[in-house]
Amino acid sequence: MKNWLYRSFFRQVSVMLLIFSVISISAYATHNYFELKRQWRDAIESQASDATRLVALTVADDLRYSRLFGLWSKLKRVKEQENQGSLYRFREITVLDNQGNTIGSTDPEKHPLIQPYVSEAQGDIETIKSISPVEFGGERIGSIAAIFDITPFRQFLWIHLRDFAIYLSALTLASVALGLILARWITRPLFSIQDALPLMGSGNISLSMLDQRQDEYGALARAIESADKRIKEDARQIRMQNDTLEETVRRRTNELAASNRELEAFSYSVSHDLRAPLRAIDGFSQALIEDYGSRLDETAAFYLQRVRGGAQKMGSLIDDLLQLSRVTRLEMKHADVDLSSIAEKILQELKNEDSHRNASIRIEPGISATGDAGLMQVMLQNLLNNAWKYTSKKDHAVIEFGSTLHNGENVYFIRDNGAGFDMRYASKLFGAFQRLHTEDEFPGTGIGLATVQRIINRHGGRIWAEGTVGEGSCFYFVLPHVAA
Amino acid sequence: MKSKIILLVEDNPDDRILTVRALKQHNISNEIKEVKDGQEALDYLFGEGEYAGRDTSIQPQIILLDLKLPKVDGLEVLQRIRADSRTRRLPVVILTSSNEQQDRISSYDLGANSYVRKPVDFSEFIEAARQLGMYWLMLNEAADD
């Protein structure tokens, strides 16, 4: 019922109107009925009393002189005469003397018997009673007791009430109909507003039927029209700003692409052109040593070795720098990468190059991560090269690659028992060109860990390290799981 | 013996000297034809320009090709070699000056047979020769021993 009612405003108004009409009209009808009944009854009682008094006047002579037959026939005449069409009629007229004895009555059973008057209720007949004194020459000589049958009045009332009910029903229907029309009339503009609202922002809303009105609908229609225009204008401006923004983004992207290409060309040039003179320095130094070694003294040969060492160092600096810059620029392709097998291969190569070394390698099998395979390779290469390099002075090197769960995160680690580092300098580990060892202790460019960190950063991961001087170090990293 | 020519395409004179020296050092006594740019290499191979009239039925046994060359670059030279029926089957070893992945990928795509790091990393060179089935290079080495 509630749902049915609330489905339409029109329905709610109609139901309210109907309830209100029925209640108010029935209240009025009830009040009216009782008021009418009371007034008419008062009128009938007063008329009946007048009629009784008239009878008293008529029969005064006969009562005084005890002309009982005349009295009786008069009573009978009065009763019959008063029967015509009125709302009340005599049912019974009784004449009593001063002692209360019945002298004459229209009721044959009471006349001429002397017995106290008893009012009788006879079935469906409604009666009223009226008593009037009979006077003769200013003296009371008896009284008239009349009983009136007012059943016609009741019928009259019922007929009246029926008419009234018909009239009120018609009125109710009319008022409900009027209410419905009114409700329809009030709610109808809502439909054109409802139809207009989806067009909000188009600038085309025209509620021409409503916007001239001075009532609430007029105000609403004008507000909707102006909101429509304002939204359209706002949208136009936002579009314009968007276009500008897109244009800017496009321009910036092009600039970026151009600068990337330039950088690419620059790196290419560095890797090719910078290396050529280095090759000459290294190559001719080597040629000198090899071809003229016999004519060089020890110092000259040593110097030439230093020249070669310098050239080679610069070569690896170029390699590392290029790698660092490439790691940042390269487009990443995410895939599942088997870290264990990559680590295995790298360490195997290192072992092959340095076969005299005594090293234990422990690689947890089946470690994988989501990331760019090339970058993962570069990262592990750098970390494992370090582990290999910094354990080079140990009699027995132990290098471990594994993973562990820490705070619900999968943490990878590469642990070695090498030179380690002082935790005070841990923050400097990943900076480019930052080194914690001298070139004589462990050669290096100081770019490797910076490259590692960039790779981890590009994958959205974290890397940190723990170390103890002389006992080894452990590098931990976390890679977020990304759908490949 | 005349047909066992090594064609060295290299613009950098230092690298040319060092490459020739490295080959000689390792007892490879083949004739080494040195050309200084891509155009000259093509002219030599196809008997055009200053090499007009050269007997093009005589082709080098192996080409050592630098990628960064004046006039016509190494990749284009490689492309032209592979496109011509006279030179299509010639073994081409690319001389690389870097680890640039891109160089390697594009020259493999164009049909390079192998790589050797500049000036000549001799162990790499021998490995390349082995892969190419060029036992004569090693044979030379043995013969001169």
Whether residue A373 has pLDDT greater than 80 = yes
Following CA atoms A367, A371, A373, A376 in sequence, which dihedral angle do they give, to the nearest 10 degrees?
A: -70
From the list B14, B25, B98, the residue facing A272 with the nearest CB is B98
Residue B19 burial (CB < 10 Å; 0-12/13-18/19+)? buried
d(CA B74, CA B95): 10
| Whole-angstrom Cα Rg for chain B | 14
| Nearest-Cα residue of chain A relative to residue B99 | A319
Q: How confident is chain B (145 residues) per 10-residue block, as mean pLDDT? A: 77 87 80 91 91 88 87 89 89 78 74 76 69 59 37
Which residues, including other chains, have CB under 8 Å from residue A151's CB and lie 6 or more apart? A124, A125, A126
* CA-based nearest residue to A272, from A318, A317, A314: A318
pLDDT digit string, tens, across residues A83-139: 555 777 787 888 888 887 777 777 766 655 444 444 454 556 778 888 888 888 888
* CA-based nearest residue to A87, from A37, A29, A35: A37
- Predicted confidence at residue A478, as pLDDT, reads 93
pLDDT digit string, tens, across residues A2-13: 777 777 777 787
- Better-predicted residue by pLDDT, B135 or A266: A266
Which residues, including other chains, have CB under 8 Å from residue A63's CB and lie 6 or more apart? A71, A95, A97, A103, A134, A136, A141, A142
From the list A283, A284, A319, the residue facing B99 with the nearest CB is A319
Chain A contacts to B (CB-CB under 8 A): 268, 271-272, 275-277, 279-280, 283-284, 287, 290, 319, 322
CB contact under 8 A, B14 and A279: yes
**DSSP assignment string, chain B:** -TT-EEEEE-S-HHHHHHHHHHHHHTT--SEEEEESSHHHHHHHHHT-GGGTT--TTS--SEEEEESS-SSS-HHHHHHHHHHSTTTTT--EEEEESS--HHHHHHHHHTT--EEEETTT-HHHHHHHHHHTT-HHHHHHHHHH-
Note whether B58 and B2 are within 8 A (CB): yes
CB contact under 8 A, B97 and A284: no
Q: Describe the strand order of the beta sheet including A359-363 as a list of residue ranges.
A: A359-363, A397-406, A409-416, A472-478, A462-468
**B27-48: burial string, b at 16+ Cβ within 10 Å, e else:** ebebebebbbbbbbbbbbbbee
- Predicted confidence at residue A245, as pLDDT, reads 94
CB contact under 8 A, A283 and B97: no
d(CA A143, CA A80): 20
Which residues in chain B are closer than 8 Å to A319, comparing Cβ atoms? 98-99
CB contact under 8 A, A283 and B98: no
Which residues in chain B are closer than 8 Å to A279, comparing Cβ atoms? 14-15, 18, 97, 118-119
Which residues, including other chains, have CB under 8 Å from residue A203's CB and lie 6 or more apart? A228, A229, A232, A233
| Nearest-Cα residue of chain B relative to residue A280 | B14
Residue with tokens 């060029």: B134
- Predicted confidence at residue B113, as pLDDT, reads 82
Mean residue pLDDT across chain A: 84
Following CA atoms A282, A283, A284, A285 in sequence, which dihedral angle do they give, to the nearest 10 degrees?
A: 40
- Predicted confidence at residue A234, as pLDDT, reads 92
Mark residue A203 as left, alpha or beta (left: phi above 0; alpha: psi -120 to 50; beta: remaining): left
Q: How many CA atoms lie within 13 A of A32 on its CB side?
A: 16
From the list B15, B25, B100, the residue facing A276 with the nearest CB is B15
Whether residue A247 has pLDDT greater than 90 = yes
CB contact under 8 A, B119 and A271: no
- Predicted confidence at residue A111, as pLDDT, reads 55
Whether residue A76 has pLDDT greater than 50 = yes
CB contact under 8 A, A268 and B100: yes
d(CA B142, CA B145): 5
| Nearest-Cα residue of chain A relative to residue B14 | A280
| Nearest-Cα residue of chain A relative to residue B16 | A280
Q: Could you tell me where the beta strands, DSSP code E, fall in A202-264? A: none
Which residues in chain B are closer than 8 Å to A276, comparing Cβ atoms? 12, 14-15, 97
d(CA A6, CA B45): 94
- Predicted confidence at residue A239, as pLDDT, reads 93
CB contact under 8 A, B98 and A322: yes
Average pLDDT of span A289-297: 89
Which residues in chain B are closer than 8 Å to A287, comparing Cβ atoms? 18, 21
Residue A150 burial (CB < 10 Å; 0-12/13-18/19+)? buried
Which residues in chain B are closer than 8 Å to A314, comparing Cβ atoms? none
d(CA B34, CA B8): 5
Q: What is the largest CA-CA distance in chain B?
A: 40
Q: Please, what are the domains in chain A?
A: 2-173 (3.30.450.20), 330-478 (3.30.565.10)
Following CA atoms A109, A114, A119, A120 in sequence, which dihedral angle do they give, to the nearest 10 degrees?
A: -30
d(CA A465, CA B109): 42
Which residues in chain B are closer than 8 Å to A284, comparing Cβ atoms? 14, 18
- Better-predicted residue by pLDDT, A61 or B8: B8
From the list B18, B25, B97, the residue facing A275 with the nearest CB is B97
ipTM of the complex in this document = 0.76
Total beta-carbon pairs less than 8 A apart between chain A and chain B: 40
Residue B3 in tokens:
């047909």
From the list B21, B25, B97, the residue facing A272 with the nearest CB is B97
Q: Please, what are the domains in chain B?
A: 5-144 (3.40.50.2300)
C-alpha A143, offset from chain centre:
89
